[in-house]
């Protein structure tokens, strides 16, 4: 163990804690991965978030073509073709924001910056029914074939005609791309 490495990590964590405190002041929630992504999605997609944590429904679209429909918001630092799913009938849609596609699944030495490179909108019941008919296991880390990801993409390429993005939404999402300064 190196004393210099311990001191460096402690210093970096103090800086990170100060940044997290500033973010929490803005979003009004603790800075944990799920809360931050839910808040960003709520701002960009006009979603009323549920006040209490709910494992199935994170909120409801307030406007647009999905007004009144329930949504479960996900964010993954990489799109590895997996989606945590449920069979709940109260869920209408999955809004999934991801970092880049692919990449290593392990964590050793992997730096995964928090970013939004792609956004997907899935019809929850339709996806469940399709995967169930294909005899796929559904639950945590459900493997979703790439053709379904492609069909559901709404950003940066708009392939899902059911949810076109406005110029303002596109610009907001671009703010979260990796490497942006």
Give the closest residue to 61 by CA, choosing from 74, 46, 50.
46
122 and 156 in a common domain = yes
157 and 111 in a common domain = yes
What is the per-residue pLDDT for 108? 52
138 and 101 in a common domain = yes
Specify the number of domains making up the chain: 2
102 and 13 in a common domain = no
The verdict on residue 63 lying in a domain is: yes
Can you read off the two tokens belonging to residue 60? Answer: 């409801």
Tell me the per-residue pLDDT of 96-135, one tens digit each, with 9 for 90 and over. 999 988 765 555 556 778 899 999 999 999 999 999 999 8
What is the per-residue pLDDT for 27? 83
Give the CB-side neighbour count of residue 167, counting CA atoms within 13 A: 0
47 and 23 in a common domain = no
168 and 128 in a common domain = yes
**Predicted model pTM:** 0.88
- Cβ atoms of residues 107 and 124 within 8 Å: no
The enclosing domain of 75 has a CATH number of: 3.40.210
Q: What does the alpha-carbon distance between residue 25 and residue 31 come to, in Å, rounded to a whole number?
A: 9
pLDDT over 80 (residue 181):
no
98 and 75 in a common domain = yes
What's the domain range around 12?
A: 1-31
151 and 138 in a common domain = yes
Tell me the per-residue pLDDT of 4-20, one tens digit each, with 9 for 90 and over. 888 898 898 889 889 88
99 and 13 in a common domain = no
155 and 122 in a common domain = yes
87 and 116 in a common domain = yes
Q: What does the alpha-carbon distance between residue 40 and residue 75 come to, in Å, rounded to a whole number?
A: 10
53 and 26 in a common domain = no
The verdict on residue 179 lying in a domain is: no
pLDDT over 70 (residue 33):
no
Q: What percent of the chain has pLDDT over 90?
A: 60
Tell me the per-residue pLDDT of 38-61, one tens digit each, with 9 for 90 and over. 999 999 999 999 987 667 999 999
Question: What's 129's DSSP letter?
Answer: H
Can you read off the two tokens belonging to residue 156? Answer: 């940066």
């Amino acid at each position: 163990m190196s004393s210099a490495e311990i001191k460096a990590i402690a210093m970096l964590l103090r800086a990170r804690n100060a940044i997290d405190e500033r973010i929490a002041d803005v979003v009004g929630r603790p800075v944990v991965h799920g809360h931050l992504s839910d808040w960003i999605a709520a701002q960009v997609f006009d979603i009323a978030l549920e006040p209490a944590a709910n494992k199935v429904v994170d909120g409801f679209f307030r406007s647009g073509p999905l007004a009144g429909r329930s949504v479960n918001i996900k964010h993954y630092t990489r799109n590895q073709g997996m989606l945590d799913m449920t069979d709940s009938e109260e869920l209408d849609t999955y809004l999934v924001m991801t970092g880049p596609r692919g990449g290593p699944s392990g964590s050793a030495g992997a730096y995964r910056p928090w970013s939004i490179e792609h956004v997907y909108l899935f019809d929850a019941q339709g996806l469940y029914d399709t995967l169930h008919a294909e005899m796929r296991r559904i639950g945590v880390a459900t493997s979703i074939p790439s053709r379904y990801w492609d069909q559901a993409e709404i950003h940066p390429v708009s392939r899902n005609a059911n949810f076109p993005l406005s110029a303002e939404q596109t610009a907001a999402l671009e703010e979260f791309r990796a490497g942006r300064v």
